[in-house]
Amino acid sequence: MFKKGVSLIVILLLAVALTACGGNKEGADGKTTIEFMHSSVEQERLAVINKLVAEFEKENPSIKIKQVPVEEDSYNTKIVTLASAGKLPAVLEVGQDYAKVMDKDGLIDQDSVKKIIDKVGEENYYDGALKLMGTENGKSYTGVPISGWVQGIWYNKEMLTAKGLKEPKNWDDVIAIAKAFTDKGNKKYGIALPTVEGGFSEQAFSQFALSNNANVLDGKGKLNIDTPEMKEALSYYKELSQYTMPGSNDTTEVKDAFMNQTVPMAVYSTYILPSVFEEGKAANIGFAIPMEKTKAVFGTVSALTISSGLEDAQKEAAEKFTSFMSKPENMTAWVLMSPGGAQPVSKLVTENADYQANEVIKAFGNLSSEIAASFNDIQVFGLVDGKNYMKMGDITSSGAIPKMVNSVTVGNKSVDSELTNAAKEINEVLKK
């Protein structure tokens, strides 16, 4: 599972010198052992993965899977350490941003990944999930999608109805609702909006920007941040921040404000849904996509990727295991390790009987299908005309965009000056 705030560590490795040989080898018993690194360290999640691994090994008695569970906060650092030592596991769970970093350094076997996706069938994945894992040239993928999450505006139906308001359909609707509920004297606000100088703000702001056709890069991969469309989006975000809680709001502040009804709306990921379910309020939550000129849903994908440089037996074992994990029933088991929070990236999971029968999924009714389908409307900075530019990973890791957002919202600085400053900072990053 890869949620908000997973920081990127931009690495420059000598890819040619690296081999993924660590614990990936043929043992004395004739079995091929490969390592599988993932971020599910909680006991209940490990129990699910242990069961899947046991089923795979039963079906493939000549292959042994050695798990390498790593805490999410230290996950990317661990990849760097293992890669530097030539001990990268054969199969790794990755998010789309870090997959770009690995791919840039030649650490991913694109051919193996493409072979598995072709086997599963591209048509069975939601379009957005594949776009997020696409390579820069658009010809392959950096990982096989297994789960994901999406972000939008969540709203409290009862609170809106009490004021005679309906679901927000566009920017104007969002502002109107936010104004109607803001009563700063009584510490009531119209929307819980990320303003922190961190990844959450970049993710939230990107939805508004992309819905106004404003991207950080253009179709040729050139920096394109200081544009009229981006200025409009940043100006709107600044205006909207007048109706949120004071200070630098991060995930905790945003989620708490929505859950305790300090606000009727919040920008957050689907990981708010388990808490809503636990409080018995599943029927009272709605999901809206902030729209101006087009639909733009922010989302992220958790995928399984295969290391480059594997020996033939290891590569074959890695492909077999990743293919096994990509079966509908196994992707379903993976998604249901966090029902509601983790979302299907495959239509075969959405249609799976076990998925549909889960009590959390059933509680949200048609909303569950609506959220899953929103993967088709995913847009992210750096993904332009089907090209998923690797340099966007460097831009995100620089922190220039959330710094800009924080400066105009919390710092109340000029939109024009902060756009100019961000462009300069990003240009410096891209020169390196």
Does the fold of domain 150-298+379-431 match that of domain 15-148+300-362? yes
- Per-residue confidence (pLDDT) for residue 10, from 0 to 100: 37
- Per-residue confidence (pLDDT) for residue 25, from 0 to 100: 66
Q: State the burial class of residue 400 (Cβ atoms within 10 Å of its Cβ: 0-12, 13-18, 19+).
A: buried
Rounded to 5°, angle at Cα 58 from 52 and 63:
90
Instruction: Give me the torsion for CA of 264, 267, 270, 274, rounded to 10°.
Output: -40
Q: What is the pLDDT of residues 139-183, one digit of tens each?
A: 999 999 999 999 999 999 999 999 999 999 999 999 999 999 999
Beta bridge partners of 34: 65
Q: Where are the domains of the chain?
A: 15-148+300-362, 150-298+379-431
- List the beta strands (DSSP E) in 42-187: 63-69, 91-95, 144-156
Q: What is the pLDDT of residues 371-394, one digit of tens each?
A: 988 998 999 999 998 889 989 988
Cα 388–chain centre separation: 14
Q: Which residue's entry shows tokens 């939601």?
A: 126
Q: Enumerate the H helices of 5-109 as residue ranges.
A: 43-59, 75-84, 96-104
Token pair listed for 107: 């650490």
Instruction: Determine contact, residues 130/146, Cβ cutoff 8 Å.
Output: no
- Per-residue confidence (pLDDT) for residue 180, from 0 to 100: 98
Per-residue pLDDT of the chain (432 residues; tens, 9 = 90+): 334 333 333 333 333 334 444 567 666 567 999 999 999 999 999 999 999 999 999 999 999 999 999 999 899 899 999 999 999 999 999 999 889 889 989 999 999 999 999 999 999 999 999 999 999 988 999 999 999 999 999 999 999 999 999 999 999 999 999 999 999 999 999 999 999 999 999 999 999 999 999 999 999 999 999 999 999 999 999 999 999 999 999 999 999 999 999 999 999 999 999 999 999 999 999 999 988 999 999 999 999 999 999 999 999 999 999 999 999 999 999 999 999 999 999 999 999 999 999 999 999 999 998 998 899 899 999 999 888 998 998 899 899 999 999 999 999 999 999 999 999 999 999 987
170 contacts: CB under 8 Å, gap ≥ 6: 290, 291, 292
Counting every residue written for the chain, the total comes to 432
- Which CATH architecture does the domain made up of 150-298+379-431 adopt? 3-Layer(aba) Sandwich (3.40)
CA-nearest of 149, 80, 29 to 397 is 80
- Per-residue confidence (pLDDT) for residue 27, from 0 to 100: 62
- Which CATH architecture does the domain made up of 15-148+300-362 adopt? 3-Layer(aba) Sandwich (3.40)
Q: How many helices (DSSP H) and strands (DSSP E) are in the chain?
A: 20, 10
Amino acid at 264: P
